[in-house]
Structure 1
Amino acid sequence: MRPVGENAMPGTTDNRRAIYWVCVLALFTAALANSLRAGAAGALKTALLDPIDAQHSGEMIGTVLGSSFLGFALSLLVISPLLDRVGARRVVLFAAFCFVAGPALVLMAPLASGSVYLLLNLAMVIWGFGWGATEASINPVTATIYPDDQTGKLNSLHAWWPFGIVVGGLTSVVLFSQLNLDWRLAVALPILPGIVLGLWALRVDFPQTQCAVQGVSFGDMLAEPFKRPTFWIFFAIMFLTASAELAPGAWVDVTLSQTVGMPGILVLVYVSAIMFVMRHFAGALEQRFSDMGLLLICTLPAAAGLYLLSTANSPLTALVAATLWALGVCFMWPTMLAAVSRRFPRSGPWGIGLVGFAGAMAIYFVLPQLGRIYDDAKLAKAGGQEAFAALESGSPQLQDVLAYAAETSFQTIAVIPLVLFVVFGVVWLMERNRT
């Protein structure tokens, strides 16, 4: 197969397909890593952070998990405007390197003695660099090679994110619940697809983005979001949509495992399976309702699902709540990317990267706050730090305390989709009145 040159638009269907599937593997690897991190979060907390500070280990694991989103955000911000200058292939190769280096550092954390917490955060930042480099490259490339179906193709591409979550989540359950294996194995697994991604990317050349092909200068691309202030409305919206989708996904294992009688990661697997299927219908739904109409509809089941997750006390109630949450959030991230690409085409990869940066920073800030809310709630329910420390592991009293903390943290974040309902409604009405 003749690869596509970096200075040209893709020429054949075969060329486009090769590029698309490399993008799929990159996103799948990022998702697999996120899922395995979420599945191992409880074990990491118990093995490495509880011995340091058991009373604040919830906030600490929230910060550690959030550090991957900091790396995600920073790499998006830096790489996105430079994508055409550096070349998408080099960016994907960098992502592959980070998918190997990040977990390798996590595996070294137990050997770091007094620097365990610092090394865990550093490892997660580097791991997040791989995710950010992936998003910075694959989204504008996909929008470029499928210019007439951006919402549909970006959603079908991002369907492989929940597929990676499913694979990683089921793997976590088998490793931890069935085989009782060490958490280090779950952390090490993403190294393999990271290596495959790097080897495959070496064989494929990527096109320049549509923005560059159309002759938009580097300076004009950078200036476009600032010339059109409405861009920042979408920046703010992405901050909220990511908080409603990705933050709870990273939090379920820490919280629901204590309250519903099943590993919280299984709830995430179930949600992701629904999302994998539903995202393949996004193109048809967008044509029926418009992108803003589709997003508006999704906010209500998202809010209901998050609230019901806070009250779930059995596998059945957790799955009912998770179904609503999945139907609500499944289209949010990729549809927002397509909406920005369509409305602000001259912003190119910089515009897509900025809204991705907003989503990543949301999780970086939200996850530690969820951890803080969780810790404060468990201490308040127990009657203070000394009373909490006195609770016996596995006791009904401890279970009640942790269930209350989980309920409080999920109810707090359930407010966000209600805010989005108002925001999407206003944008939808404004755009409808212009046409």
Structure 2
Amino acid sequence: MNVNTNQTHEAPNRMLFLACFMAIVTTSFSFILRALTLPQWEAEFNLTKTQVGEIAGVGLWPFAISIVLFSLIIDKVGYKNSMIFAFICHVSSAVITFFADGYTMLYVGTFIMALGNGTVEAVTNPAVASMFPKAKTKWLNFLHAGWPAGLVLGGIIALLMGPEVGWKLKIILVLLPAIAYAIMMLPHRFPVNERVKAGVSYLEMLKEVGIGGALIIVALIIFQIGAVFGWSTTANILITALIVAAFGFYVKSFGQPLFIIMLLIMLPLATTELGTDSWISDLMAPEMAKIGIQPGWILVYTSVIMVVLRLLAGKIIHRITPLGLLAACSIVAAIGLFLLSASAGVMILVAATVFGLGKTFFWPTMLGVVAERFPKGGALTLNITGGVGMIGAGVIGAVILGFVQDKTIDTSLRSYDNANNTALHSTYVTEKKTSIFGDYQSVNIAKLSEAPAEEKQSVITIQDEAKKEALKTVALFPIGMFICYILLMFYFKSKGGYKPVLLAENNVAST
């Protein structure tokens, strides 16, 4: 561990931090506005559950493309220029979505939004880590309090407008925080990255990621792009192998084993938090309707919990190690998801409270651990971690929740027909469709809307049960995470305990 105790640090720019905070608010503001309008899109454009999941997913996985690409060039392109690109993405996404006339335009508009969101994190994560090099986990938690804050702000505005207000007006509201962060950020200079200050070379940064890290992120991106353009599995493997081989030939390093493990853990972590958030309003709609509350309030409520706790992160982290905090959050999140799948009435709020407590510290604390343990990786290791999480949530999390519902409904309708001598499945289920998880069949919304009352209610009851099954499935992810974090805690204990790695600094001024 290299520490230069004689180096004078430039005072952090708190106003720049607030601008970064507002940019994060914008990313989640757009996220929740889309999450709350997904049911309206499903009904208006006759989308399948899996198509809804694909739109929710494309709001996440392109994040990985922009966050990785900008991390590779951001020290050359500049943080402010990158934020200008993010602003253009947010504005154009809102406009395209506003004029959407079906699945394709909704998909494209959401794709562009995700590119902008990835660029925001490519800038703000390393900028804040560089501003506060000795308190990274604390300040990254503060920064990412902006995510639930945007969920609360956007959610309250959209919900108070009510279902009678068209979704187009709700979507265009994303321009408000986007314009705000652009104005706030323009007057300020961003700090030079910690890696650059310490004189760590570009090649050394790439070596921290290595072949192992590159294989994970490149494979996820190429296979998702391949799914969009219809590439074969062979083509996906070949393209991935060529890119990783070229990268490996240049860096000649497998990468930090612990960093690669952290990347793998980000997949279930992001599915638990963001994948569930993408669907939570729809999944809880039946039970929330019984107590007369719009389902979107459940996401707003858990987000309020997250804002408060992330702003208290400094005090909590002083009392427990980051890995201990992540392990505790994992088991609490699993319990919360199981409770949500089984709760009714006011107990939904209790279950939501447990889940909100569990998911609060996942994302920023994982980023904090990576920033503290791999500072030589600069913006790249930090942002690849976020990129793997987002693409994992988009490709796996959001889609698998829709896929589980469609498969459960398919199986349940067949069983119902056999038991009751009915033909609900052949009448209301579509032809086979294909997703990354395999073939599936879903309910035809248009046909169901014209069904006799008794048949419609039978199908709706089965759909409601499928939503609960999806929550039970997701609960398995944090259980796996808990085991991983416990093993990592034992590993660090054998090495003398968890400690951040600090780099000595050269005299490089902010730009």
In the TM superposition, what are the counterparts of 1:22-421 in structure 2 within 5 Å? 22-48=19-45, 50=46, 53=47, 57-110=48-101, 116-177=102-163, 180-226=164-210, 227-261=255-289, 262-314=293-345, 316-365=346-395, 366-383=397-414, 384-387=425-428, 389-390=447-448, 391=451, 396-421=457-482
Residue 380 of structure 1 and its aligned partner are, at CA, apart by 2.9
Partner SS for 2:10: coil
Residue 425 of structure 1 and its aligned partner are, at CA, apart by 0.3
Partner SS for 2:473: helix
Show the counterpart of 2:506: none
Residue deviations 1:108-147 (CA, integer Å, cap 9, x gap): 212xxxxx22222111110001110111110110010011
Partner SS for 1:109: coil
Residue 385 of structure 1 and its aligned partner are, at CA, apart by 4.7
Does the 8 Å contact 2:20/2:181 carry over to 1?
no
Letter of the structure 1 residue corresponding to residue 77 of structure 2: V
Give percent identity, aligned residues only.
29
Does the 8 Å contact 2:136/2:368 carry over to 1?
yes
Partner SS for 2:312: helix
Residue 350 of structure 1 and its aligned partner are, at CA, apart by 0.1
Alpha-carbon distance between aligned partners in 2 of 1:393 and 1:324, rounded to the nearest angstrom: 37
Q: Does 1:426 align with 2:487?
A: yes
CA distance 1:379–1:96, shift in 2 (3 Å): same
Moved more, 346-355 or 84-93: 84-93
Alpha-carbon distance between aligned partners in 2 of 1:230 and 1:363, rounded to the nearest angstrom: 21
Residue 197 of structure 1 and its aligned partner are, at CA, apart by 2.2
Residue deviations 1:390-429 (CA, integer Å, cap 9, x gap): 5557954344122111011111101001001100000011
Alpha-carbon distance between aligned partners in 2 of 1:161 and 1:68, rounded to the nearest angstrom: 14
Residue 287 of structure 1 and its aligned partner are, at CA, apart by 2.3
Q: How many residues align?
A: 411
> Which protein is bigger by CA-based radius of gyration?
2
Letter of the structure 2 residue corresponding to residue 343 of structure 1: R
TM-score by length of 2: 0.77
Partner SS for 1:259: helix
Alpha-carbon distance between aligned partners in 1 of 2:472 and 2:41, rounded to the nearest angstrom: 25
Which 5+ residue runs of structure 2 have no aligned equivalent? 1-7, 211-254, 415-424, 429-442, 497-511
Does the 8 Å contact 1:298/1:328 carry over to 2?
yes
Does the 8 Å contact 2:26/2:150 carry over to 1?
yes
Alpha-carbon distance between aligned partners in 2 of 1:271 and 1:10, rounded to the nearest angstrom: 37
Letter of the structure 2 residue corresponding to residue 274 of structure 1: I
Moved more, 295-304 or 279-288: 279-288
Alpha-carbon distance between aligned partners in 2 of 1:372 and 1:174, rounded to the nearest angstrom: 31
CA distance 1:318–1:353, shift in 2 (3 Å): same
Letter of the structure 1 residue corresponding to residue 258 of structure 2: T
Does the 8 Å contact 2:62/2:391 carry over to 1?
no
Letter of the structure 1 residue corresponding to residue 427 of structure 2: E
Letter of the structure 2 residue corresponding to residue 68 of structure 1: G
Show the counterpart of 1:113: none
Alpha-carbon distance between aligned partners in 2 of 1:190 and 1:308, rounded to the nearest angstrom: 33
Residue 216 of structure 1 and its aligned partner are, at CA, apart by 1.2
Does the 8 Å contact 2:208/2:256 carry over to 1?
yes
Residue deviations 1:168-201 (CA, integer Å, cap 9, x gap): 1111211224xx1001111110012212322332
Alpha-carbon distance between aligned partners in 1 of 2:382 and 2:119, rounded to the nearest angstrom: 12
Does the 8 Å contact 1:10/1:207 carry over to 2?
no
Q: After TM superposition, what 4+ stretches of structure 1 lie above 4 angstroms from structure 2? A: 387-395
Partner SS for 1:267: helix
Alpha-carbon distance between aligned partners in 2 of 1:386 and 1:255, rounded to the nearest angstrom: 24
Alpha-carbon distance between aligned partners in 2 of 1:374 and 1:247, rounded to the nearest angstrom: 14
Residue 260 of structure 1 and its aligned partner are, at CA, apart by 2.5
Does the 8 Å contact 2:61/2:392 carry over to 1?
no
Which 5+ residue runs of structure 1 have no aligned equivalent? 1-8, 111-115
Q: Does 1:21 align with 2:18?
A: yes
